[in-house]
Each structure stands twice: as structure tokens, then as C-alpha cells.
Amino acid sequence: MHDTKQIQVTRSSMPDFEEYMEEIRPIWESHWLTNMGPKHRALQEALLEYLGVEQLELFTNGHMAIELTLQALELEGEVLTTPFTFASTTHAIVRNRLDPVFCDIDPVTFTLDPGKLEERITDRTCAILPVHVYGNICDTDGIEAIARKHGLKVVYDACHTFGETVDGKGAGTFGDVSCFSFHATKVFNTIEGGAACFREERLAKKLYELKDFGIHGPEEVSAVGANAKMNEFCAAMGLCNLRHVDREIEKRKRADERYRSHLEGIPGLQLNAVQPGVRSNYGYFPVIFDPEVFGADRDQVFEALAEQGIMARKYFYPLTSAFSAFSGKYDPAETPVALEVSRRVLTLPMFADLHMEDVDRICEIVLGCSR
């Protein structure tokens, strides 16, 4: 019985049906479905407070938050970034007609290694786009020192860090802009959604207009914007989920601890490092397999789990620099650490309602591969 149950890598957090119905009831009275209505405003206010940021603009998804942020900053030239990320990060650069320049990552946090940035800076470099991978906070001091020295903008892909704090400071307070995703698979979701967080007031108006076709006034369109507005139903979902997100993170923490109780200290396995001063959101449970030491490689573990109906994920694999979309324009071998991690990493199922017995069973299968 137990063995036939499928376990996905993630499972979306949802409020009670009645709670959501109550939240969307006013929409039936107002007929205001989208275009920055009351739910949109309420969620924006609630998130400013929860995330502890000065300014926040909502978007239809995390990707458009990043893409339109790069447009709003009026960048030109090359952007230093990591290939160890989701397609979105690199696509946001390329879709803005900017050139990604891939730099290598730190083998412990899997985030951009500041020591690898300066050698790739040219007179065309305009910005750095780092990613807080698996909720691991980048070396923000190191990155921002280089940015200041060379006059570069810094936009963080903070899609993995919802609700995290660093020494009590919100994870969305770093750089010129930090972008979050509220996709269904993330720690906090609005079904689809995202936000850009920043300080500069001027950016707020610009991003607001860019997500609405660049419409500046009833008779003026002053920029070539997109349609990236969050609708009222998604905002309502966010308002509900936000009420429960701390408890959801607490439940994820218990799953994280259970995984660690089985996998910590096993030769050939590297787990996500615990960063001092960081309140984690336990969004992912990545494991790096060293096949020589562990006795099985990542793909063998992936297959063994799949045979038992457990859907782990090769995340991130392949590197974005290896995507066929770029037809060999970039060389993944230029970032050897990222390349190796992408070949060895497997993220195990992680969500708030994951049962402890399932964590036990997953670990038993993983550890069984080494024999």
C-alpha cells in the first residue's frame, strides 16, 4: 500500500476552501478582477510589512519581475550572472538584449563566488544578477563591494528566499532590487505571482507602468512595457497564504530536520550548509552526491526513487549556459564548479505537508543505493 503512493518533489500550500471563498467574495460585488484593485493593494501592503522592505511592486510572476526590473534600470551590455539557476534568470537577461557573462559559484552555498567576478568585468559590464540558490544568501558584501568599485547595478534573483532574514534584515533588502517568485511551487504562493523589492522611489512608478504596457496616462504611453499585472484572484490567494506561511515554514523545518537526522555525516553526501544569522525558509532539500565515495551517482539515486514513485528533481540541471536555446554560444566548462554541482545534485521532496514516515522511506531508498 504505502509503497505505491506517489510523492512529488513539491506540493503547493493552500488555504481552506472557505477562507479563500470569503477572501474573493467582495470581487463578486465590485466586478474588479484585475488592474491593481483592492486585493492587489492589500497584498502589496501586507508584503511590504512581512518582507521588511521599503518599496514593493507586484507582478504576474517572478520572471516578469526580473525581466521588467532589468528594463527599468535601462541597462546595456553585459550582465555577470550564474548559470546554476532556473531558466528565468538567464532568459530575463537575454530577452532584454543584454549579454549574460557566466561566472562560477561557491561549492558550499552554490551562489556566485565574488572572487570569480572581477576577472570577467569588461567596459561593457553594466550589472550583476546573482541568485540566492536554495535560500542560501549570496555573499552580498563581497558582491556589492565589487559592484560599487565598478559602478554596477545589482539585481538579486531572490525567488528562493521568501520570508528569510539575515541578522534580522529581510532577504529582499539587498542590492538595487531583489525579485521574489510566488509561483505555486514556492514557499509562499499566489498561484502565479512575483514581486520586485527596492528602495528608490522613482523605480516604483517605472515598474508600475512597465507591468501595464508602459501606460503613463490616459493618452500617453511612454515606454514599451509588457502586461505583467497580478490579478485580484491571485492577490486574494496571497492574502490567505500569507496568514499561514510562518506555520508552513515551521513544518518544512521539521521535514528538514528529519532528513538531516538520516543523511548528515554520511560519506559522499553534501547537504545544504546552515548559514549563521540566516532564518531559513527550508524551501528545498538538495543533496550533492559524490559517486566515488557514496558508491552511487545522482542519476542512479534519481532512478531508484522514481521506481518507488518518488519524484526527486535534478534542479538545477543542466546549467542555463548549456541550454539548446543558446545553440552552443556559451561554454559550460568555463564554470567548472557549477558544472560539477549540476551533475551531482538532486533535490528531494520538500513541502509543508510532507509526512515524516515518507522522509524516512525516501532516506532509506537513498541510503540503499550506496550498498
Task: Catalog residues that contact ligand PLP under the rule CB under 6 A.
Answer: 61-63, 85-86, 88-89, 131, 157, 159-160, 181, 183, 194
CA angle 52, 53, 56 (to 5 degrees): 130
What is the C-alpha to C-alpha distance for residues 235 and 217, in angstroms, rounded to an integer?
Answer: 24
Closest CA to 275 of 135, 105, 88, 65: 135
- Alpha helices of 79-191 — where are they, by DSSP H? 87-95, 140-150
Q: How far is the CB of 267 from ligand PLP (least distance, A)?
A: 30
Residue 225 or 294 with smaller CB distance to ligand PLP:
225
Q: How far is the CB of 216 from ligand PLP (least distance, A)?
A: 26
Q: How far is the CB of 242 from ligand PLP (least distance, A)?
A: 16
Other CB atoms within a 10 A radius of the CB of residue 22 amount to: 13
Closest CA to 275 of 108, 79, 47, 64: 108
Residue 91 or 120 with smaller CB distance to ligand PLP:
91
Closest CA to 236 of 197, 193, 196, 205: 193
Q: How far is the CB of 9 from ligand PLP (least distance, A)?
A: 13
What is the C-alpha to C-alpha distance for residues 280 and 161, in angstroms, rounded to an integer?
Answer: 8
The residue at minimum Cβ distance from ligand PLP is 62
Residue 85 or 165 with smaller CB distance to ligand PLP:
85
Q: How far is the CB of 5 from ligand PLP (least distance, A)?
A: 26
Q: Please write down the HEC assignment for all residues of 270-319.
A: EECCCCCCEECCCCCEEEEECHHHHCCCHHHHHHHHHHCCECCECCCCCC
How many residues are there in the chain?
371
- Cell 510566488 locates to 182
Residue 191 or 366 with smaller CB distance to ligand PLP:
191
Q: How far is the CB of 311 from ligand PLP (least distance, A)?
A: 17
Residue 10 or 165 with smaller CB distance to ligand PLP:
10
Residue 58 or 278 with smaller CB distance to ligand PLP:
58
Q: How far is the CB of 138 from ligand PLP (least distance, A)?
A: 12
Q: How far is the CB of 269 from ligand PLP (least distance, A)?
A: 23
Residue 159 or 348 with smaller CB distance to ligand PLP:
159
What is the C-alpha to C-alpha distance for residues 286 and 134, in angstroms, rounded to an integer?
Answer: 8
Q: How far is the CB of 16 from ligand PLP (least distance, A)?
A: 24
Spatial contact of 269 and 296, defined as CB atoms under 8 Å apart: no
What is the C-alpha to C-alpha distance for residues 16 and 126, in angstroms, rounded to an integer?
Answer: 46
Cis peptide leading into 26, omega within 30 of 0?
Answer: no
Other CB atoms within a 10 A radius of the CB of residue 121 amount to: 17
Q: What single DSSP character describes residue 155?
A: E
Residue 232 or 296 with smaller CB distance to ligand PLP:
232
- The SS3 of residue 32 is coil
What is the C-alpha to C-alpha distance for residues 152 and 147, in angstroms, rounded to an integer?
Answer: 5
Spatial contact of 363 and 262, defined as CB atoms under 8 Å apart: yes
Residue 187 or 296 with smaller CB distance to ligand PLP:
187
Q: How far is the CB of 135 from ligand PLP (least distance, A)?
A: 10
Residue 86 or 174 with smaller CB distance to ligand PLP:
86
